Amino acid sequence: MTFSIVARCKETGNFGAAVSSCFPAVGAYSPTIKPNIGIIASQGWVNPKLGPVGMTYLEKGKTANETLNTLLMKDPGRELRQLIVMDHFGNSAVYTGVENDDYKGHFVGDQYAVQGNLLTGEDVLTVMAETFEQTDGLLEERLLAALVAADKVGGDKRGKQAALVKVVAEDGFPYVDFRVDDDDEPVQLLAKMYETNRNVLIDRYYEWVEAVKTGVKFR
C-alpha cells in the first residue's frame, strides 16, 4: 500500500517523514510526530491509535524498541501492520507483519528508517535509503528527494494517489507540512508545492517565529 521514510536531523534535532500511498489522504492517518520526543509511522492496515498511544510511551522515557514491543503486544492485528518507532535520539525500531503483501520490507539507517509494502520491488526501499544518505541540505529536501527517487523506480505497484512531507521543528513551531490527498502523480505535485512555496514558508521561517514570539507584525 505504502512506502515511507522517517528521519531525525543531526544538526537541528528536527524530526520528519515523507510518505506515498495508493490510499487517499494517507497523511490523515500517519505519521505522528512530536518535537523532542520522536516519530511513529504506521502503515499496512493502519491502526490509527498506534501513533498517539505510542507517543505517550516515548514521552515517559521508553526506548524505540520498548515502545514498539509494547504496541505490538497489545495489538491483535499486529501481523497486518508495518510500523516505525523513532525515539528522541534518532534510534529506530521497525516491524513488518507477515500478512502485509509483497514486496514488503524495511531498513534502518543512521537516524533514519524506511519501510514499504505492496511495492514493485526491493529497489524502492534501497533507492529511498541511498538517496537520503547521498543528498545534502535541509531535512525536508532530503526526505523529498528520497520519496521522488523511490517513486521513479516503481513505488506502490497498485498505483498512486496521496503523498506527504512533514517536518516538525525542535522549538515546537509548525515548520513543513505539505500533503497531496488525491492526485494521479502525488509525489511530483508534492515536490512542486514545496518548491513553489519554499521562499515564503521555509526561507523566512525563523523571521516568522521571532515575530510571533516578540509580538511584532510579520512583513
Domain ranges of the chain: 2-187
Spatial distance between the Cα atoms of 35 and 16, rounded to a whole number of angstroms = 10
| Residue 155, pLDDT score | 60
What is residue 118's predicted lDDT score, i.e. its pLDDT? 92
Question: Alpha-carbon distance 189 to 67, whole Å?
Answer: 34
Are 116 and 149 in contact by the 8 Å Cβ rule? The answer is no
Question: How confident is the prediction along the chain (219 residues), in pLDDT tens digits per residue?
Answer: 689 999 999 999 999 999 999 888 888 888 999 999 999 999 999 898 999 999 999 999 999 999 999 999 999 999 999 999 999 999 999 999 999 999 999 999 999 999 999 999 999 999 999 999 999 999 999 999 999 999 998 865 677 899 999 999 887 766 899 999 999 999 999 999 999 988 777 777 777 777 777 777 766
pLDDT at 205: 75
Distance of CA 69 to the CA centre of its chain: 20
What confidence score (pLDDT) does residue 214 get? 79
Ordered alpha helix ranges (H), the chain: 50-59, 64-73, 123-134, 139-153, 186-201, 205-214
105-109, strands of its sheet edge to edge: 105-109, 112-116, 2-8, 15-21, 162-168, 174-180
The helix (run of H) or strand (run of E) holding residue 41 is strand 38-44
- Would you say how long the chain is, in residues? 219
- E strands along 89-211, which residues? 92-96, 105-109, 112-116, 162-168, 174-180
Residue 123 CA from chain centroid, whole number: 19
113: β partners: 6, 108
- Fold for the domain defined by 2-187: Glutamine Phosphoribosylpyrophosphate, subunit 1, domain 1 (3.60.20)
- Are 21 and 35 in contact by the 8 Å Cβ rule? The answer is no
Question: Measured at the alpha carbon of residue 163, what is the angle toward residues 161 and 165, in degrees to the nearest 5?
Answer: 175
Neighbours of 98 (CB within 10 A): 8
- Rounded Cα distance, 47 and 2, in Å: 14
**CA–CA separation, 191 vs 144, rounded Å?**
7
Question: What is the model's pLDDT at position 199?
Answer: 76
Instruction: Give dist(CA 45, CA 100) in Å, integer.
Output: 8
